[in-house]
């Protein structure tokens, strides 16, 4: 599928993902029907231990990121719009921080490990920021870290006759901030402006 067709299909993907997420994950009326998934809505605890592979092919864990603030976005490289915007907002926010955000490690965690290998991530993440770390792993590893961060994601069906490898993913569009100790601090919408994200991070930098 060529990029113009990808953009054409984006609207359908976003609508399906949004409706599914609200219907099954919204907190109103008690637990959703999606098992352990949850609708974060900017509040609640998130994060925890994980084991993954970075875009350089190295095995890493959550402990490797302790000592600095961690700014995390979940998405996938085939995403034509939402993910690039979320990553751009997140990484541009770093340039607005003291020392250009040297105290913050930006991290992109894929929810599409079948396509997002370390090699694919290695080509993708430098386009957004030189310090951006891409993480992937097995399907089980991705599911575990998504559960820890309360991230919803699902593989969307491909239209009949289309290449089955040209699928979209529906997923939570949220940016997560963790402290140097790995503890949850706050979240931002993936659509938040860089200035908004930077202002939120500054409060925690000043208190550290």
Per residue in 147-164, pLDDT (tens digit) is 999 999 999 988 888 888
pLDDT value, residue 102: 95
Residue pair 146/34 in contact (Cβ under 8 Å)? The answer is no
Please state the domain extents for the chain: 3-207
Considering only residues 80 and 25, tell me which one the structure prediction assigns the higher pLDDT.
80
Q: What CATH number does domain 3-207 carry, 3.30.70.1230, 3.40.30.10, 3.20.20.70, 3.40.50.2000? A: 3.40.30.10
Closest CA to 37 of 131, 148, 169, 186: 148
Helix 194-207 × helix 82-95 angle, to 10°: 50
Residue pair 148/37 in contact (Cβ under 8 Å)? The answer is no
pLDDT value, residue 160: 85
Strands, E, within the chain: which ranges? 51-54, 59-61, 69-75, 104-110, 133-136, 153-155, 169-171, 174-178, 184-189
Q: How confident is the model at residue 44 (pLDDT cuts 50, 70, 90)?
A: low
Q: How much is the mean pLDDT over the chain?
A: 83
Q: Tell me the pTM.
A: 0.79
pLDDT digits (tens, 9 = 90+) for 170-186: 999 999 999 999 999 99
């Amino acid at each position: 599928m060529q990029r113009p067709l990808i953009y054409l299909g984006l609207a359908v993907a976003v609508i399906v993902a949004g409706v599914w997420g609200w219907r099954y994950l919204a907190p109103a009326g008690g637990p959703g029907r999606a098992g352990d998934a949850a609708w974060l809505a900017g509040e609640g605890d998130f994060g925890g231990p994980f084991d993954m592979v970075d875009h350089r092919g190295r095995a890493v864990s959550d402990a490797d990121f302790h000592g600095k603030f961690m700014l995390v976005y979940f998405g996938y490289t085939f995403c034509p719009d939402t993910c690039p915007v979320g990553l751009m907002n997140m990484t541009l926010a770093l340039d607005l921080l003291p020392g250009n955000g040297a105290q913050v490690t930006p991290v992109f965690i894929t929810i599409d490990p079948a396509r997002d290998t370390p090699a694919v991530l290695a080509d993708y993440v430098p386009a957004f920021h030189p310090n951006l770390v891409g993480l992937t792993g097995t399907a089980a590893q991705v599911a575990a870290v998504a559960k820890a961060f309360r991230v919803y994601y699902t593989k969307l069906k491909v239209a009949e006759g289309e290449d089955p490898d040209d699928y979209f993913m529906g997923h939570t569009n949220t940016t997560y901030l963790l402290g140097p100790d790995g503890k949850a601090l706050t979240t931002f919408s993936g659509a938040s402006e860089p200035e908004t994200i930077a202002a939120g991070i500054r409060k925690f930098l000043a208190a550290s």
